[in-house]
Amino acid sequence: MAGTSDPNARMMPNDIDTFAHYVEGIDPSRYFDSQAKERLDQAMNRWPLLAAVLYPEPAKD
């Protein structure tokens, strides 16, 4: 896929959707994209104030 000529390849949301776009029979809903979770965790650690606003923790009783 490194040399793809598809202009929309960069618009795909993740690797699994991109792979399914090029390979018949792949169902993206059956796979988990761990890179998305890793990126979210990295962003939440990098910008804790923004993370607290966007993802507030539930109130503790």
In a domain, 38, yes or no: yes
Average pLDDT over residues 41-61: 86
Phi/psi at 3 (5° precision): -105, 35
Specify whether the CB–CB gap between 50 and 56 falls below 8 A. no
Q: What is the pLDDT of residue 1?
A: 46
Instruction: Kindly state whether residue 20 falls inside one of the protein's structural domains.
Output: yes
> Is residue 7 in some structural domain?
no
How many independent structural domains does the chain possess? 1
- Is the pTM higher than 0.85? no
The CA distance from 27 to 42, in Å, is 27
For residue 48, is it within any domain? yes
For residue 5, is it within any domain? no
More confident residue, 3 or 43: 43
- Residue 35: give the domain boundaries: 12-54
